[in-house]
Each structure stands twice: as structure tokens, then as C-alpha cells.
Structure 1
């Protein structure tokens, strides 16, 4: 970690920036306290970029609005019920929150917001000591009531209050512990881990939307596996993502199949490496990471022991896609994300047929067509799914996929694969057959698409002849 003095220098520079200094002056003139709080202060000590500016104050939401309106280019009060006002000042977005003391009543899925009256009280109700740091403005006084700086130095996560009390007030903090462990690379204090295990059932009080958001934040860190292991080891994953701990299939005495759980975590790590190195997708890509983590969740339900001792998981791709849809919908993911993840999982085994024999151009076209706009994600998962320690086998699979991608590129250049359609559209089909709109048009369209995929471009005249032949055979 950078020296404390260097961190204080960075905080001083931050306080002198137009947005912060303008806010500090406005609140001081109005007779109210203001402090930069949480992540920005923590990240200054860690030498990390400061991206979000969060402030806390003794002013009420109405008073905050009155103070920021004259100096803001824009402001909004969408978080007013939680004491938070947002604003854009000197080109930067900020959030300013009244001192708080959130608690749960034991049954509600949302916190009951109680406004506090001191900065120290606000800090001690926060999730972890490393986030319970503040810089009073404009006097630049560092406030650390719970030893957060010492924990930053030790790279340890613990709660300001007793972990049982903190997690009882807001069970989502247990998921946040896993996320920050992954994001910061910190260890979680043993007493805090023990409380997570003991209170894991309390996460059921939290709304699916809040759980979804926290899991998404965890998965989009640079090294999410650390956090996922913590969720599984503490029993939290059994409550929020039970398909993942279910991957820990009991190994038979002959070790006839690999550890699916460890394999899935390795696939996730490799998918992130490919996501970054290929540079085609905007990283982090949540769909890639969800698909990598969940790609084998159909295996527990499809495991079979065959004669001779072989273990099979027939159709685990299709079963896994259905299970992923069900779980992601329960977590209130949007339909586009759900459909994309399920599609990539459903197709993730398709490539392995390529290594068993040369694919025709038709098979390559169908691979591209079936993947649609998920092709790049399918490329990443297919490559990441190779975790064998057999270097010869791994090289063979890598060379095979290189070859497949090269063939896709060649065919795409020749035939515009991304927009493959029959050479006759619906209107031309109806005109050629002399029929009106109806189900038969759809059947004819599918036939013409199969011709296009199987044979490539053959020209509209030849396509019309093939259509008439199909029609005549159908009518016979």
C-alpha cells in the first residue's frame, strides 16, 4: 500500500478539485457539515483511481437540494427516500446523503432508513471498516472511528460493529464481503466469515434485485473466483445461486470425471482472460462471465454411469440452458441477459463436434447462424472450456478452433454470414408459388433457408427452381 502521507496528499488534491471545493464551500456557507466518504477515501489510500464521489452531511434531503441547486448543472432526487440527492457539479456526478442509520425490522426486504446526526455515527453503521473512512471538508480532517486505516494496511475486511449485528441490520453486506474480497484482494476476518456462515439464511430477506446487483458487481471484478469461493464455502451460494455449489459432484473412487466445480471456476478465469485479450467485447462482459460460471450446471441432473465405468452427461448443455434461464429470471435479470446467457450455454458443446471430423461449409454456416449475435461470446466460452492438463490435447483443440474461426472469417467475407437469409424473401416465395400469406409461406421460407445454409449462394433463378421442385414434391 502507498504510504499514508501520500494518500493524504492525494486527498488534498481531490479536495482542491472544482467539484469538491465548490460543494465544500457551499455547505460551509449554509452552516452544514460535509465529508467525502467511503470508496473515494479508501481508494486514495490504496492508490486506486477515484471514480465515484460520495459525500455525507448533517443536512436533510430538502436542505441538500437547496444548497446544490445554485451550483449544479443538474440535480435529481430519485434517492430522496434513502436520504440521497444526486447532482452534476463542474461536470462531475456526485451523490450526497444525509447521515444514516439503516436497520431492518427482521421481516422487511428493504432497509428502514433512520437519519443520524453525527458523522462518526454514520461511519460506524457502514459495511466494513475500510469503507468507514471520511474526510471532513473543507478542513481536511480524516475521520476513522473503527480502525479502517489499520485494516487497509493489513488488507483485512471486517465490520465496524459486531459482524452479527452488522449483517443482521443488512444481510446484503455478506455478499458485499465476498465482492470486496474479490475486488480488493483482501482477506475476510475469520469472525466475519463465521458470521456469514451462521447468518446465511438471513440473505433470504433481501430482494432478488439487490442480490442480482451485488452478484453482478462481484462477477465483473477482475478476479471474481475468490468471492465465488467465499459464497460457496459460507453457504450463501446455496441461498442465492444454488446451481454453483451443486457442481461439487461427489467423486467416485475411480475418478472417472473431473471436478465440475473447480473446472467451472477455471473456465470463468480463462473466459475473463480471453474476454480481455481478444478485445472485441467491452470488458467486463457480464454475459460471458455468467455463461462461463453456469455453463455446466446441467451436469448434476444428467450424470449417468455407463457400462464399463464411463460417466456421461448427455444433453447437459440443453438442461443447463433451461436451468440458467430459470435462475436468472428468479434473480430478476433482464430478458436480453437471460436469453444471451442461455443461448451461449446451449451452444457451448457444438464446437467439440468440429474436432471429430471436418465440418462442411453448411455446418459452419449453421454454427454462425445459430449463435447469431452471441458468436463472439460463444468463441470465448468454447476456448475457455478447454481446461485439460494434457498439453497435446489442449493444443489440438486450440488449433481446431483457430481453424474454425478462420473458416468463419472466409465464409463471412464471401457470403456475409451474419446476414444469411434465403435468396427469395416472403413476397417472392408467394409470387413464385401463387399462394397467399399463411403457415405454408413459413415452411417454404425455412426450406429456402436450409438450401442457403447447405449450398451457399446459388442465385435467385436456381433458388426459384429449387422452391418449385419442393412445392411439386409436397403437392404430389
Structure 2
């Protein structure tokens, strides 16, 4: 045990001087101070941590008075929750008064009550692996709820009864799923039971807090077990119902694959493609640095339109016509409800809309015009679309999988050649808006916008044609419009 503690302390070496110095500041003033939670847990796990979370017997006002002359900068944005932040030698430290968070069962924000001891503070923390502390400045290890044993067993349990812990803050149920994904832990049986029984209480938590936990889960190294836990306990029905809805019943003839498991596999395959990659015949491949939230959300949600569009055909098959369109609409509605930002919503939904486009490529019959449209429709999402489309192949037929991969290799090679020849990222009609207005004698407005879009489509279909040909096509199009008076 002592060897393990020594190794954990050694991992905190970059911060030890700062922590012990700050500990002396507080003890000299008659207050307790301890490093607590994630930093202690991660030290034992051998994980790097940039968070320095401390807890103290001092009130927020007393904490602020102590750290102002000590630190380089102080902020009190978390004062209402008992937290004062301080910057020292490049390290950001957050110091929180001993506390206990709880919901009153009606509001969406936790009610804060300050505690009087470290043990009291630790018992109200979410899990025993986060209820360990190092008293400062002496680095005395405090583990009243056997968190170190749980850490060794890679088990998530709660310091108090789980139903009590989840009543204090229902978001802890989502946190349990997130930790299974981030830390490769499993939840204790009593914790999983409490999650099932108290799932409905997640509805009192704000959408923003739920969004943040789901994002951390999806961005984890292994999100699959965390997502499965949400589905198995019924929590997903309340926070992301489109996911369990993918568990379409398998009919006796097995006429379709398990869309739920397929979606989790697509997510994993997309993750595996993040970062540097190479493509045969392509000189420069633009990587998608991971972890990428937009790509992962699109992979997870790409087929959520299937339940609403499933049709059993007379010949024994199953179809999901236009599920990409329906899925994009459902994703937009869900991501808005979870308060995701507009850019993320736009990009995820666009990827879902486009994820089937490649399947029209066949054996490479697309014209250059079709390839240009693929490039321009994807726009800045093209690199992500490459990964999503490749990941959407989960067939166990190796020959079919190899053929699909080879065909997409060919498409990426064609894209590179066209982009190099035509700078498609900067493609514009040969005539700009001002010139279109002059030729047609019309002012800026919707009609001019339609004319511009027509010439853009013409440019994509025909490639570079020159101003004369563009003007001829513009006049031909104009002659067919009711506004022309012809």
C-alpha cells in the first residue's frame, strides 16, 4: 500500500512544490486543505492530470483572502458553489469549501450546503474512487470509503447508498457511464440497480449539464460500454432516445442487421481512422485530429432515421428509403434540445445527410461533375465525410469490404486530382453577382441569387468553361424564367 502511495505521489511531482506551499499557507491560517477527487485518482492510475482540485475548511471569503497575495491571478466565478480559482506558476488551482450538493427535487440546479470536515465532504462525492484525498502540506493519504480497493478492482461504487448519491445529483448516473468509457471501469451491481430505478430523475438536470457529460463520454477512448450502460439502464430513453430506438426487433428471417450494434461499431471504426492515415494513390491525405466530437456524433447518429423509414418489401427485403434525410432532421431536433452549439449541429446533420452519397458511386461510374458536387456539397466536412463513409461498412464479408475500401480509395484519388486541377475549394461561377446583374439588368435580390446558383451548378457540371460560355448559359436560363418577360 505504501509503495503504491509513493508512486502516486511521485506522479504529482510537477505540482508538489506548489501544493505543499499552498498547504502551508492554509495551515498557517488555521485551515485544512487537501488535494481531492480526480487528481488523486489519476495519480494512482498513472494518468496525467492538468486539474488541481482542492477542498478546504476555509470559507470562500477566507480562501480568497489567503490566495490573493499568494497567486498571480484569482477568479471567483464559482463562488456561489464555494469555489475560488487561482493561477500560480502556470498551474490553475480550484479550491472549494467543504460542501454537499443536492437537488431539491424541483429545480435543475444543485443546492449548495457547506460542510465542516473532509470526511463529510468525501462522503458526498460521486464515487469512492473520487473520494480519496491527500492532506496538504504533509501528503497524508485519506481514504475513508475504500476508494483505493475499488480502483484496484476497477469498480465504480458510491461512498453512501447509490440511491442517496443519485438523489443528491442525478447527473452522477451519466457520470458513471462516462467513467466506464474513460477509465475502463464497471459499475457495481447496486449502482446499476439504482441507475435503473432512478433513471427518471435525470429529467431535473439541465440540458447543458447532460450535453457536457454525453460529449465527454463520446470523446472517451472507449465510449461503447458507457453508451451501452445508458441504454441498458433506461437513461438513454430520457437523454438520447434515438439511440435505444435503433434496437429494431430482428425478425425470424434476419432480414436486416442490428442497427444499434452497427452504429456503435461505426463509431469505433470512425475513431480508429482519426489522426494521420494514408490512402493508396493519394499523395496528401488531410487528417481528422482526434478525438473529434462532430465525427463521433455523426457516426453514432447516422442511422437514427431508420426506425421511422423501415419498410418490409414484398420480396422479403427491408428498405429504409431517405433515412439519411429523416435522420438529419431527428439529429437536429435532439442536438438542439441538448443545447449543442449551432456549428456542431449544422456539421453533424450535414454529415448524416451525406453519408449515403458514396453508394451511388458504384464501380466508379461517377462523372467528374458528380465528383465535383460531392466535394462542394461536403465543403469543409469532406475529410470527416471520408471517415464516416468508410466506417459505415461493417460487413463481415471480407471480399465485399475490400471492394468498398478500394472503390473509396479510387474516389479519394479522383478528388485529389480534381482539386489540384480546379481548386474546387475556391470554385465560383465565371460571372460574379455584379456581372450577372449587369447582363440581365436586374437588381440584387432572390432572382439574382437563383441566377448565381444556376451558374454555380453549371460550373460544377461542366468544369471551367470561360466567361463567354457562362454568359451564353446565363442568357439561355434567363429566357426560360417568368421574370424575363419573354
Aligned position for 1:147: 146
> How far does residue 23 in structure 1 lie from its aligned partner after superposition?
1.8
1:308-457 equivalences under 5 Å are 308-355=315-362, 357-457=364-464
Structure 1 Cα separation of the partners of residues 134 and 480 of structure 2: 81
> How far does residue 440 in structure 1 lie from its aligned partner after superposition?
2.1
> How far does residue 44 in structure 1 lie from its aligned partner after superposition?
0.8
Aligned position for 1:108: 107
Matched, 1:227 2:233: no
Per-residue CA distance 1:298-334 (angstroms, 9 max, x = gap): 0000000111111000000000000000001111111
SS at match of 1:32: coil
Structure 2 Cα separation of the partners of residues 159 and 461 of structure 1: 74
Structure 1 Cα separation of the partners of residues 142 and 225 of structure 2: 30
Structure 2 Cα separation of the partners of residues 346 and 396 of structure 1: 24
Matched, 1:68 2:67: yes
SS at match of 1:146: coil
- With normalisation by structure 1, the TM-score equals 0.97
| Conserved 8 A contact 2:5-2:44 | no
> Residues 9 and 169 (structure 1 numbering): CA distance in 2 closer, same or farther, change over 3 Å?
closer
Structure 2 gaps of 5+ residues are 278-285
Structure 1 Cα separation of the partners of residues 87 and 111 of structure 2: 27
Structure 2 Cα separation of the partners of residues 243 and 5 of structure 1: 44
Matched, 1:122 2:121: yes
Aligned position for 2:27: 28
> Residues 348 and 8 (structure 1 numbering): CA distance in 2 closer, same or farther, change over 3 Å?
closer
Aligned position for 1:10: 10
> How far does residue 209 in structure 1 lie from its aligned partner after superposition?
0.8
Per-residue CA distance 1:323-352 (angstroms, 9 max, x = gap): 000001111111111111111001100011
SS at match of 2:177: helix
Structure 2 Cα separation of the partners of residues 343 and 276 of structure 1: 21
> How far does residue 280 in structure 1 lie from its aligned partner after superposition?
2.0
Aligned position for 1:40: 39
> How far does residue 373 in structure 1 lie from its aligned partner after superposition?
1.5
Aligned position for 1:97: 96
> How far does residue 177 in structure 1 lie from its aligned partner after superposition?
0.5
Equivalent in 287, 293, 304 of residue 300 of structure 2? 293
Per-residue CA distance 1:97-141 (angstroms, 9 max, x = gap): 110011221222111100001011101100000000100000110
SS at match of 2:114: coil
| Conserved 8 A contact 1:14-1:20 | no
SS at match of 2:84: strand
Per-residue CA distance 1:365-421 (angstroms, 9 max, x = gap): 111111112111111110100000001110111011111111111111111111221
Of 349-358 and 448-457, deviating more is: 349-358
> Residues 342 and 435 (structure 1 numbering): CA distance in 2 closer, same or farther, change over 3 Å?
same
Structure 1 Cα separation of the partners of residues 288 and 22 of structure 2: 37
SS at match of 1:276: coil
Structure 2 Cα separation of the partners of residues 2 and 308 of structure 1: 69
| Conserved 8 A contact 2:11-2:46 | no
> How far does residue 357 in structure 1 lie from its aligned partner after superposition?
5.0
**Number of equivalent positions:** 475
Aligned position for 1:251: 250
- With normalisation by structure 2, the TM-score equals 0.95
Matched, 1:239 2:238: yes
SS at match of 2:92: strand
| Conserved 8 A contact 2:22-2:137 | no
> Residues 59 and 11 (structure 1 numbering): CA distance in 2 closer, same or farther, change over 3 Å?
farther
| Conserved 8 A contact 1:355-1:397 | no
| Conserved 8 A contact 1:2-1:47 | no
> How far does residue 436 in structure 1 lie from its aligned partner after superposition?
2.2
Structure 2 Cα separation of the partners of residues 351 and 51 of structure 1: 42
> How far does residue 30 in structure 1 lie from its aligned partner after superposition?
2.2
SS at match of 1:307: coil
Of 458-467 and 358-367, deviating more is: 458-467
Matched, 1:138 2:137: yes
SS at match of 1:113: strand
